[in-house]
Structure 1
Amino acid sequence: MLFDDTTTRARYFGVVSGAAGISAAAGPLIGGLITSYVSWRASFLLQVVIVAAIAWLGRGIVDPPLPARRPAFDWLGAVLSALGLFLVVFGVLQSGAYGWGTATQDYAIGGTVIVPAGGVSPMWIYVGLGVVVLALFAAVAWTREKNGRTPLVSVRLFANLTSNLGLLTQNLQWLVLQGAFFVISVFLQQVRGFSAIQTGLLLMPATIGLLLSSAAAPRMARRHSQRRLIRFGFFVTTVGLALLLALGGTRPSIWSFVPGLFLMGLGVGIMLTASVNLVQSAWPEEVQGDISGVSRSVSNLGSSLGVAVAGSLVAGAIPGGGQYFSALVIVGSFAVLGWIAALLIPRRTTRS
């Protein structure tokens, strides 16, 4: 079913985004319960069961009729896009062992030193290779489209300024959400000594904030523009992270984490639906499936980068100690970057 008006889109996107955000927020609690009472291996087994259940339930989804002539799948584009994104994320992960600037130790492959200590960090080598592969992927997609063949992703989907800025805010939202959760979870368990279950319960205020703001998405869409909601969401999220830094590091009480976590969840919930709505509304109905796939991929990339960046910082990419505080500050800087991107979104959404 297609929805043309912004309010109706917001209602259904609110359900989808809210479910995704709540799942991300509730994951540590569920994982903590399984890890504590069963084993950490069982948590991976549960994911297999969930995927199987989704595949079984998906049988009831009614798809639109397929075209008489199905386009050939772009296998080269699929390989290049997957390889490029892998190299970028893998490169960020290397910063935990070798640093962000210069290599803190020799980087060797098969006993051969590729980068000596003091040279450029291997992180930038992998990230650079990833960017080159992604550029090659874009060239292949453009060539296929020019020759009348169907690419994996049409390069025309990146020709709309409003959509591009919306995709950037989506990426940063998930980066901030997953990155902050990672840092906070590790801090609570490694520094404060909380169990996995206690950590999951302590993150519940963020889940509640996500639930409340997602439920209010249709009402907010009627009263405010999407760009205003995205800006306000990033602002509230930044305030929440600031409260976590101000209260969580100085007061031993678990209640000191509640205000910051609640505001962070509230802010993310406000902007999740608005960003998706903004991106989808910038395109006509005939490309909704394509832009929806791009939107979901960008969000997943943000989640991966959030965990990779936060994990590398906590693992020691920041010298001199204080890595938890510094990691949360850096994650918060991405929220500020998202707010700046939201300021650049045009007032009027023009469809391509």
Structure 2
Amino acid sequence: MGAYTITAVCGGETATAVVTIPDLTGDLTVTATVLDASATVTGLSDDQAVTVDWGDGTAPDTVSLTDGAGTATHTYADATGSPYTVTVTGNTSGAVLTADVTVTPPPLTVTATTAADPQTTVTVTGIWAEDTTVTVDYGDAGTPEQLPVTGTAATAAHIYPQNGTYTVTVTGDVTGQTDSADVTIAGWTDVVVDPMTSDAMWPALVYSTALTTPAEMITGDASAEDGNLLRDTGYHLREYPDNIELDPTALYRIAFRVRSSGTTPPQTYLGISGIAADGTTRVNGNGDDSPGAQYFAAAQRATLPESGWTEYVGYLRGKSAPATGGSEHHDPDDPGTFLEEVVYIRPIMSLAYKGDTTAVMDVDTVRLTSAQVPA
């Protein structure tokens, strides 16, 4: 600002004085780590005070300088206005220094926690204000889920289909910020696991009268999970021979790995049979003693692809009247139910449904598992 001469006249007497106003010509450096900013002033006159306006609408800070330098710190509430213009004003001189600073929100953080069951709670924190939703890929080949954001967080519960270690990945739908976390699932218990070593495990209840061809047991097939498969030509309805006591509190997952090996892609019904307390009488979804209209939660007259293995999965849990397990239920959060009279269960599969000799169907694995999942 420079030196100024002040002249005062009083009663014919004149007095003068020279006043020097220091120049505010120093440097302003502003740095930031995430939302925390630091403004440093150097090269100013000794002991001059300055105010620091952080450019986000909050009250300015007052900073005293020592040996022409001083530092102020500030935490921004969010990054929506970034970059912010920081303005330093000399309280004596009125001179101004400005600098822009770019801040970023804390990184999005994902945690995934599970108890001794296949249900995992995913918690996301540090979500940027621009993201009103985030997308969660649970790492189990299922459809990613979009979650609403509350404040800077989101949470969801997910049931994993099998034991194992999965990587959960969350992505902000606007900003693209992302993070991941691993979760280990160990809550599923095997009830029936059959890699098709013997057709005696799957006696035919119903088959086309014109078809007398017994099941073929094929070994050494490299495409099969354990090298074995059961092959049916034409329509055969097969049921696991042993009764399994139904736990109405458990979530059941029934899975069949099947493929078409004929010239006509077959149709199939895949699921679980309901058995009454006497261990013999069947209780289907209509309450009838019949192998038909059972709890085909994995597949209801599904047409197989022309080639390649396909896994059909269904979920069942509990009892109700009427039962809901007569339709497909592929979502563990929406399992079908059995009728109240069901006491035992058995896996059941309708292979090459109503097909002729051109419909050939292979099965290499049937797996029934159960887990205790909080309702």
Does TM, scored on the shorter chain, surpass 0.5? no
Name the TM-score, length of structure 2 as normaliser: 0.19
Per chain length, whose mean CA-contact separation is higher, i.e. which structure has more relative contact order (CA < 8 Å, sep 6+)? Answer: 1
The structure with more radius of gyration: 2
Higher helix share: 1
Name the TM-score, length of structure 1 as normaliser: 0.20
Higher strand share: 2
